[in-house]
Amino acid sequence: NAGVTQTPKFQVLKTGQSMTLQCAQDMNHEYMSWYRQDPGMGLRLIHYSVGAGITDQGEVPNGYNVSRSTTEDFPLRLLSAAPSQTSVYFCASREGPGSDEQYFGPGTRLTVT
């Protein structure tokens, strides 16, 4: 099993550009989430999904869209990048209700200039 994979590992965008961060898991997990991690602030939940076709907003959803058309994939779209979105983005998955452990991908380091 590859676990949770994320692409790209690094990305530089100009203000106003859009892009999609990819996330995939091969563990057949129901739940998937996107977080951003900024210095001194810990990880903050952007969006999450409890199953294919179901998504919900987390703590900091503005400026981001998600979709969950399959169990395996959970892409995060930045609609119009801003310098405030410079961060490290982590995708995570867990088995489902009652499961404790979240498995994280290796992260995407995004810089918006």
Binding site for another protein (CB under 8 A): 31, 33, 35, 40-45, 48, 50, 56, 58-59, 90, 100-102, 104-107
Report the nearest approach of another protein to the CB of residue 44 (Å).
7
Residues 108, 89 contacting (CB under 8 angstroms):
yes
Of 17 and 104, CB closest to another protein? 104
To another protein, the closest distance from the beta carbon of 103 in angstroms equals: 8
Cβ closer to another protein: 16 or 96? 96
In the bound state with another protein, the residue whose beta carbon lies nearer, of 5 and 17, is: 5
**Per-residue DSSP letter, 30:** S
Question: H/E element holding 24?
Answer: strand 19-25
Closest separation in Å from C-beta 36 to another protein? 11
Nearest alpha carbon to residue 33 among 106, 100, 94? 94
Encoded tokens for 34: 């996107």
Nearest CA to 50 out of 64, 66, 63 is that of 66
Least Cβ distance, residue 15 to another protein (angstroms): 25
